């Protein structure tokens, strides 16, 4: 953050919080309770969970104002850099008998002119059929249901995975304590996370929800936006299954991404 902006923003936050304390006559005991709770979130390994539940969606909404291209969405606390690079045809890393319905996630990545972009990286991560994330929750193989793959020469991509369910965020730690005190539930609607990146374009963090899914209207992280909800199509006819050489029904989610230029990557003399 630029130094001037940091000073402006932090001093304003200080004033807002001081005013808040005066308004509610916050006691010394209550003050210490809050600082202990914040320290406890880190000690409990919740890192950004508490803040992402309450505030991240506001930050992405503000980032979307006046910006072209696909909607930005929250990243959440469970993204990890360095997921395995997959080879085509793309299948998300999974256990031999990974539970959950088959899902094909596909689409196209274009620029603002509608031209396809080849070689775009999609870094996808999502919960398993029990609503748990690898490398975060225990007893799941490393990098399970986390993987990176690329668009082809026509800007198209497709990956095979399993359908994640709605899930409960961790509720036994300080974030759960706060949500319980507010009488809120702990659920997020089912979703896929994806980071879409290419060296010439601004990296897009997205998150896609399934139309008609549970908790779309009451997401604990208040992060669902119309433009992020896509149709989940069930394919169950014999001809659809044999087209993909499958003997079971499967789901398909299609979502197209539009990337915007990363002006920082354009030489100054050209962007002036
Ligand atoms: C998630 O998308 O995984 C998430 C987002 C905010 C809080 C907790 C989880
Ligand atoms: Fe998630």
33 Cα distance to chain centroid: 31
144 neighbors 93 (Cβ within 8 angstroms): yes
245 neighbors 96 (Cβ within 8 angstroms): no
State the average pLDDT for the chain: 95
Mean pLDDT check: name the lowest of 3-7, 143-147, 155-159, 226-230.
3-7
Give the dihedral of Cα atoms 175, 72, 188, 163; nearest 10 deg. -140
Instruction: Write down the pLDDT at residue 103.
Output: 98
Among protein residues, the one with the nearest Cα to ligand 1's atom 9 is 76
| Whole-number Cα distances in Å, 98 to 123, 128, 168 | 20, 8, 20
- In this predicted structure, the answer to whether residue 270 has a pLDDT above a threshold of 90 is no
Question: Which of 58, 74, 164, 186 for a ligand 1 pocket mutation test, highest count of atoms within 8 Å of Cβ?
Answer: 74
Average pLDDT, stretch 83-104? 98
Average pLDDT, stretch 62-84? 97
Say how many Å lie between the CA of residue 267 and the centre of ligand 2: 36
Average pLDDT, stretch 110-131? 97
229-245, pLDDT tens digit by residue? 999 999 999 999 999 99
Say how many Å lie between the CA of residue 135 and the centre of ligand 2: 13
Average pLDDT, stretch 103-107? 98
Instruction: Write down the pLDDT at residue 263.
Output: 72
**Residue 193 pairs with which residues in a beta bridge?**
125, 207
Whether 52 is in the pocket of ligand 1, judged by its Cβ within 6 Å, is yes
Angle at the Cα of 60 (from 58 to 65), degrees rounded to 5? 95
Average pLDDT, stretch 45-64? 95
- In this predicted structure, the answer to whether residue 271 has a pLDDT above a threshold of 60 is no
Instruction: Write down the pLDDT at residue 59.
Output: 98
- In this predicted structure, the answer to whether residue 269 has a pLDDT above a threshold of 70 is no
Whether 133 is in the pocket of ligand 1, judged by its Cβ within 6 Å, is no
């Amino acid at each position: 953050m630029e130094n001037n902006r940091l000073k402006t923003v932090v001093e304003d936050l200080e004033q807002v919080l001081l005013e808040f304390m005066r308004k509610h006559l916050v006691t010394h005991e209550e003050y210490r309770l809050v600082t202990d709770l914040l320290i406890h979130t880190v000690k409990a390994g919740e890192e950004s969970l508490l803040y992402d539940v309450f505030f991240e969606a506001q930050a992405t909404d503000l980032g979307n104002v006046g910006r072209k291209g696909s909607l930005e969405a929250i990243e959440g606390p469970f993204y990890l850099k360095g997921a395995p690079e997959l080879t085509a045809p793309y299948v998300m890393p999974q256990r031999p008998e990974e539970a959950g319905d088959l899902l094909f996630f596909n689409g196209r990545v274009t620029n603002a002119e509608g031209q396809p972009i080849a070689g775009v990286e999609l870094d996808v991560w999502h919960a398993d059929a029990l609503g748990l994330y690898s490398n975060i929750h225990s007893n799941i193989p490393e990098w399970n249901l986390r993987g990176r793959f690329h668009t082809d020469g026509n800007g198209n991509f497709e990956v095979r995975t399993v359908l994640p369910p709605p899930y409960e965020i961790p509720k036994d730690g300080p974030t759960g304590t706060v949500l319980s005190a507010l009488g809120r539930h702990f659920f997020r609607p089912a979703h896929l996370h994806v980071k879409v990146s290419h060296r010439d374009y601004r990296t897009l963090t997205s998150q896609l929800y399934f139309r008609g899914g549970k908790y779309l209207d009451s997401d604990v992280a208040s992060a669902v936006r119309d433009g992020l909800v896509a149709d989940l199509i069930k394919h169950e006819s014999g001809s659809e299954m044999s087209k993909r050489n499958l003997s079971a029904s499967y789901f398909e989610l299609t979502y197209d991404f539009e990337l915007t230029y990363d002006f920082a990557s354009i030489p100054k003399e050209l962007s002036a």
